Amino acid sequence: MTTSPTGPLSPTGPAGPAGPADSTGPSSATGPGGSGSGIPDLITFDDVRDAARRLTGVAHRTPVLCSRTLDALVGAEVHLKCENFQRVGAFKFRGAYNAVSRLSPEQLARGVAAYSSGNHAQAVALAARELGSRAVIVMPEDSPKSKIDATAGYGAEIVRYDRYTADRAALAHQLAEERGLALIPPYDHPHVIAGQGTAALELIEETGPLDALLAPIGGGGLMAGSAVAATALAPGIRMIGVEPEAGDDTFRSLAAGHPVTIPVPRTIADGQAVAAPGALTFGINQRLLDSVALVSDDEIRAAMAFAFERLKIVTEPSGASALAALLAGRHRLTPLPPRIGLIISGGNIGLDRFLELMA
């Protein structure tokens, strides 16, 4: 069995308990999986809505919080979509379940593979368990212990690697090919992107049209899916991605006009420690983003502290990066529009690590 970077996912097959069977899949029959693969290269708002149907009753419809203190600090009405309350503690469950639920019964029986620093790992492991499948997950040796333990707790087999010397994607592809597993990429796949976009869909359904939306960028799946959903629901909305200064691959790529690879980032935001954007996510973000803001690790720490002290929520560093951009004035919105949405992407952090960062 040959496995491409998009994996042997098919737009046909069982929808699982979350929605109706998908007889046609998203909008295109070709794409990253190769011509005729059945894997689309375009993601439409209809794809996001279809993902939302599949996720109904499976994923949490996470809360949207507001804070008068935050509004007064930044001078705008801010609505925070809190994906730290999602299953597995992060938005990643949305895309993982949407992708795994589309596999055929035969492929589910063989199992799935994924590579991730933690949140996608947990998401695929849980999605596989929910759908009666098994998961093999490639994780870096320095992944937070809380994320490794949670992934194992969902029943996954974990294969470790050194993120600074080994190619995680190549290792996952090799395992998938050898064992006949379906590879579920962390971000660069249409079904994953469409699933992630349901976070922005829910946010704007609850708040009504927003003037701007800020979201973290790692590989770009959350931002790409959110941009597809938000621009459909709120034409004219300004889309701002946020990266750590040390992990500015999308910022550099947009400036260059093509994907750029940087050294593996060293940042406290481990969920955003990505060396290059995905080909598919970059194409969407290049088309729909207004700009990318960069934040320092210290600004991320300050945002985590603000979220804990004033909002009473715990975020992991990546989960707080969009809030950091807003609090530090790095949002690249001049003038600041009156109604802003912001995605808190996750809260997977161990107590010891949280206290260390807050010290």
- Residues with catalytic function: 92, 117, 243, 247, 249, 345
* Beta partners for residue 344, in sequence order: 82
CB 195 within 8 A of CB 55: yes
CB 91 within 8 A of CB 199: yes
In sequence order, which ranges of the chain are alpha helices (DSSP H)? 45-55, 68-74, 92-100, 105-110, 119-130, 145-153, 168-179, 190-196, 198-207, 221-233, 249-256, 279-288, 297-306, 321-327, 351-358
In angstroms, rounded to a whole number, what is the distance separating the alpha carbons of residues 358 and 19?
Answer: 42
CB 138 within 8 A of CB 175: yes
In angstroms, rounded to a whole number, what is the distance separating the alpha carbons of residues 159 and 138?
Answer: 5
What three-state secondary structure class fits 236?
Answer: coil
Question: CA angle at residue 197 from 195 to 201, to 5 degrees?
Answer: 120
Continuous segment of H or E residues that includes residue 243: strand 238-244
Which whole-number Å values give the CA distances from 95 to 48, 189, 195, 212, in the listed order?
10, 9, 4, 23
CB atoms within 10 A of CB 44: 16
Question: CA angle at residue 276 from 304 to 102, to 5 degrees?
Answer: 85
Does the CA dihedral 357-297-318-170 come out positive or negative?
A: negative
In angstroms, rounded to a whole number, what is the distance separating the alpha carbons of residues 236 and 246?
Answer: 30
